[in-house]
Amino acid sequence: MTGSFSLSAAENPTVAVMEAGYGASNLDVRYINCEVAPEKLAGAVSGAIAMGWLGFNCSLPHKEAILEYLDDLAPSARLIGAVNTVVIKDGRLIGENTDGKGFVEALKTIENPQGSRTVIFGAGGAARAIAIELALAGAQKITIVNRSPERGKKLAQHVDSQTEADCSFADWTAGYSIPEDSSLVVNATSLGFYPNHEQTLDVDFSSFTPGSIVADVVANPPKTRWLQAAETAGCVSLTGIGMLVNQARVNAQLWTGETLDAEVMHRALNKALGLA
């Protein structure tokens, strides 16, 4: 058994993606969404161990609270300082963070991030995971742009000091102009997420460099206003769907050792989001 611990849990589309992937690979494994309040996290963890679960995902509000129950942390989870996936092996709990790994796997279907010059908007959990994984995958330069400067500066300093990448912070001035040499630009804020899908980033869209890759972490809707503007400017777009599907595949690999069918999982996610 596998699943997700979060509050609330009902809207999480990962259950459809995982179940479709397991089913297509004929694995005798299930995935369930569990609503777990903060004060019940210890009990939920004990329950998963007692019932022989392979592991579980942690979503809001447990991504940092789970740390105190773990026996060990994978290197990138340690750098990110948050865990979204727990692997249970021989009664030991290992914390992983697969948000950024899912992003990098999706990106690699278009281009290897090695040597990339990246701008990341946002400094929350998703931005942090993506910045660390891009740095570990060999990104050359990373610029963090965030509404709250303190949070943005803190992330930039952390990535710069803990990885080989050259990472700095830039103020998010009105009509922000993307540096011309950027090969990858990522919206890692929650701007554009349904039902606020009319919102988008305060960026000068004429500063997009044609041919560069523009990505969004927002999976619903997949084609955000941000990505529409990027495509109009001649950029290659990468939706949040790829990140979500690849993250689920990395999780399944960690839990079962099997590589699940991306196509089947993609279709299941589209259906769960009402897009198919």
**Binding interface with ligand NDP (CB under 6 A):** 99, 102, 122-127, 146-148, 151, 189-191, 193, 217-219, 240, 243-244, 247
Query: Distance between CA 55 and CA 251 in Å, rounded?
Result: 9
Closer residue to ligand NDP, CB minimum distance, 146 or 251: 146
- Residue closest to ligand NDP, measured at CB: 124
Q: Does 223 qualify as catalytic in the annotation?
A: no
Q: Which helix (H) or strand (E) holds 57?
A: strand 55-58
Residue 40 phi/psi, 5° resolution? -105, 5
Closer residue to ligand NDP, CB minimum distance, 99 or 133: 99
Encoded amino acid at 169, one letter: F
CB of 160 to ligand NDP, least distance (A): 18
Bridge partners (DSSP) listed for residue 119: 143, 185
CB of 53 to ligand NDP, least distance (A): 22
CB of 146 to ligand NDP, least distance (A): 5
CA–CA–CA angle 132, 49, 124 (5° rounding)? 25
Query: Distance between CA 106 and CA 189 in Å, rounded?
Result: 18
Closer residue to ligand NDP, CB minimum distance, 212 or 247: 247
- Other Cβ atoms closer than 10 A to 242: 24
Given 63, 89, 101, 154, the catalytic residue: 63
Q: Are 163 and 79 in contact (CB under 8 A)?
A: yes
- Other Cβ atoms closer than 10 A to 160: 18
CB of 90 to ligand NDP, least distance (A): 29
Closer residue to ligand NDP, CB minimum distance, 183 or 189: 189
Active site residues: 63
